[in-house]
A and B are shown apart, each in its own frame.
Chain A
Amino acid sequence: MREFISARSMLLASAVAASSLGVFGFATITLGAAIVGETRRVDLGQAAPAGLEALKAQYRRPATIPFPKENPYTPEKAALGKKLYFDTRLSVTSAQSCASCHSPGFGWGDGLAVGVGHGMNKLGRHSPTVVNAAWGAIFMWDGRLANLEEQALGPIQAAGEMNMPLDQLMQRIATIPEYKPLFDAAFPGEAMSPKTLAKAIATYERTIVSERAPFDAWIEGNESAISAEAKRGFAVFNGKAQCAACHEGWNFTNDGFQDIGLPSKDIGRGEYLPDVIKMKHAFKTPGLREIARRSPYMHDGSLATLEQVVDHYDHGGVDRPSRSDLMKPLGLTAQEKADLVTFMKTLSSSLSPTAVPVLPR
C-alpha cells in the first residue's frame, strides 16, 4: 500500500536530509544559494615525508622578477617611480612620501608598531614592508587592494595618511617642470595622470627585492653558510611548529589570510567577508625575508621580538571560532624556540644601501 511513495518524494527527503547533515558547512538551503550536500572523509593515504633535499628545493630563489604585462619594466619607469616614491610633495603637507613609512633604513618599513600619518597621527596598523612585493598576490593587511598600481594611490589619497586628492596631486606635479620629461620618457605619448604615476611607483617597488641571504647560500649547497642551530630551526619550521603551512616558499608566505589569535579588536579581512567566520580577525601572512630588520611584528606591531613571536605561536593565541585550525599550543622546547629564531635571522641579506634620488625641481 505504501509502495506509491514516489521517486520524487524520496529524492526530496534525501536532499533535505543531506543539506541538514551539512554540519561541516552551511546547513540551510536558502532561496538563491547553491546546495551544500554530503560531506565525507576521504583516504589520502600515507604521504611519504619529503626528504631534506626536496624540501630545500622548495625554497630556491627565483631567477627573475615578475612584471605584469599591463605594466612591463623599463628603466625609465623605475627611475621615475623611485623619484616619486621618495618625493614628499606627493602629500598635502609636503612632509610625507612613500619612503616615510616604507623606508630602506628599516627593512622597507618604519620600525614603528603602527604607522604615523597626516598631522603625526598614529594609524591603525603596522606599515608592511615593500620587499618582494613583486611576488604578492594581493595587498594590504586586509587584502582590499588587488595590485601595486592600486595600492600606490591608496595612502596618497587617504585623509589619515598623505591626504592628497588626486586632482590636486597632478596639479602639484605639473608645477614641477623637471617631472614632465621624466614622464615623457617613461610613458611616451601619454599625459601625466594618476594612472601613470601609480604605474611608475609600482615598477620601482617591484625592483625592491631581498638580496642573497646566508639561508640562500645554504639552499644552494654551501653547508657552512648557516649554523647547526639554524638548520635545526629550519627543520622545526617545516615540521613540529608547522610555520611553513602559511610561511611557505622562498619568500616565506602564500599571502593567505588567517586569524592567529592575537588579542586585538581589529577584524581585518572580516570587514570584507563578514559571512565567513574564519576571516574575522584574519590578516595577510607577511613574508619573512629580512625579518630580523622588520620589528616590531604583527598587524598591530604588538610583538617586539622574534622570541615573543615564537612564544605566541607556541601558546596558540586566543581560542575563538575564527582562529585558524592550524593554531594550537605546539609544546616547543626552549632549544626548539631558540633554533627557530636563529633560523629566521639567516633570512637577512646585507641589503645594499639605497641612494635617495635627487628630486625634480
Chain B
Amino acid sequence: MRKLIPVTIAIVAGLSAGALAAANQQIHQKGRVFSSENVTIKKGEAITFVNDDSVPHNIVSTSKGNEFNLGSQAPGMSTDVSFKEPGDVQVLCAIHPRMKMTVKVTD
C-alpha cells in the first residue's frame, strides 16, 4: 500500500516526461500538417497529440462513440487521447481544414 500510493500520484501529477506514455503512438502537427494520416491502435490504447508547431491547434473528432475536443492546444503542449469504441475515427483540426487523419481502432 505504501508503495502503491506514490506510483498513483506520479501518474496523476502529469507534468513530467511521462515514462508510461513513452509507448504511445505520437501524432505531430508541425507545419499545420498531421505527421501521419492513418494510424491503427487497439481499443483502450492512447495516442499522444503533440503540438510541435508554432501556432495553436484545436483537434476534434465528431465520430460517433469516439468524440473529443482538445480545445486550443498551445505550441509545446501534448495531450493523450484513448478510444473506447472500435471503428474509424475521423480526426481533424477545427482551425486548419487541410489537417485530417483517421485513427483505426481495433478490438
Q: Interface residues, chain A, CB within 8 Å of chain B?
A: 2-3, 5, 10, 13-14, 17-18, 21-22, 24-26, 32-44, 47, 137-138, 143, 245-246, 248, 254-258, 273, 275-279, 282, 324-326
Complex contacts, A36 vs chain B, CB 8 Å: 68, 70, 79-81
Q: How far is the CA of A324 from the CA of B81 in the complex (A)?
A: 23
Q: Which residues of B contact A (CB under 8 A)?
A: 1, 4, 7-8, 11-12, 14-18, 21, 32, 46, 50, 52, 54-56, 58, 60-61, 64-85, 89, 94-98
Bound-complex Cα distance A282 to B21 (A): 34
In the complex, what's the smallest C-beta–C-beta distance from B10 to chain A, in angstroms? Answer: 9
Q: Are A40 and B84 in contact (CB under 8 A)?
A: no
Q: Are A41 and B69 in contact (CB under 8 A)?
A: no
Assess whether B14 is in contact with A38, with CB atoms less than 8 Å apart.
yes
B33 shortest CB reach to chain A, Å: 10
CA distance A10 to B6 in the complex (A): 11
Inter-subunit contact B79/A38 (CB<8 Å): yes
The reply to whether B84 and A35 form a contact with Cβ atoms under 8 Å apart is: yes
A20 and chain B: residue at smallest CB distance:
B12
Residue with the highest number of chain A CB atoms closer than 10 Å, among B73, B97, B98: B97
**Contact between B12 and A18, CB atoms less than 8 A apart:** yes
Most buried by A among B1, B66, B80, B85: B80
Q: Could you tell me if A254 and B58 are in contact, using CB atoms closer than 8 angstroms? A: no
Given A34-B61, A40-B16, A325-B72: A18 touches B11 (CB 8 Å cut-off): yes
Q: How many Å from the CB of A183 to the closest CB on chain B?
A: 32
Pair A5/B81 contact, Cβ less than 8 Å: no
- CB-CB < 8 A to B80: which residues of A? 36-39
A280 to B16, CA, bound (A): 33
A278 in complex: contacting residue of B72, B75, B97, CB < 8 Å: B72
Cα–Cα, bound, A38→B52 (Å): 17
- A10-B4, A24-B73, A40-B15 given as contacts; is B94 within 8 A of A34 (CB)? no
CB neighbours of A22 from chain B (8 A): 79
A257 and B95 contact, Cβ closer than 8 Å, known pairs A40-B78, A325-B74, A326-B56: yes
Q: Would B77 and A34 count as touching, CB distance under 8 A? A: no
User: Does B95 lie within 8 Å of A278, measured CB to CB?
Assistant: yes
Measured in the bound complex, the distance between the Cα atoms of B60 and A75 in whole Å is 41
- Taking a contact as CB atoms under 8 Å apart, the answer to whether A5 and B85 are in contact is no
Please classify the interface of chain B as helix (H, G, I), strand (E, B), loop, or mixed, using the class held by over half of its residues.
loop
Report the Cα distance A343→B103, complex, angstroms: 43
When distances are taken between beta carbons in the complex, the residues of chain A under 8 Å from B65 are 32-33
Q: Which residue of A lies closest to B73 (CB)?
A: A24
| Residue contact A34 to B82, C-beta cutoff 8 Å | yes
Is A254 a contact partner of B96 (Cβ separation < 8 A)? yes
Most chain A beta carbons < 10 A, residue from B21, B65, B66, B72: B72
6 pairs across A/B with beta carbons < 8 Å? A17-B11, A34-B81, A38-B11, A39-B77, A39-B79, A40-B17
Inter-chain contact B32/A34, CB cutoff 8 Å: no
Contact between B68 and A3, CB atoms less than 8 A apart: no
B69: chain A residues at CB < 8 Å are 25-26, 275-276
Whose C-beta in chain B lies nearest to the C-beta of A276? B94
Least Cβ–Cβ distance between B65 and chain A, in angstroms: 5
Asked if A35 and B70 sit within 8 Å, CB to CB, the answer is no
Contact of B12 among A14, A24, A41, A47 (CB under 8 A): A14
Q: Which residues on B sit within 8 Å (CB–CB) of A32?
A: 64-65, 67, 84-85
**What's the nearest-Cβ distance from chain A to residue B41, in Å?**
11
- Additional A-B contacts beyond A18-B12, A276-B58 (14; CB < 8 A): A21-B14, A25-B79, A34-B67, A35-B84, A36-B80, A39-B79, A39-B80, A40-B77, A40-B79, A42-B76, A245-B54, A256-B32, A256-B96, A278-B72
Q: Is the CB of A33 within 8 A of B81?
A: no
A153 to chain B, nearest CB (A): 20
Whole-angstrom CA separation of A143 from B97 in the bound complex: 9
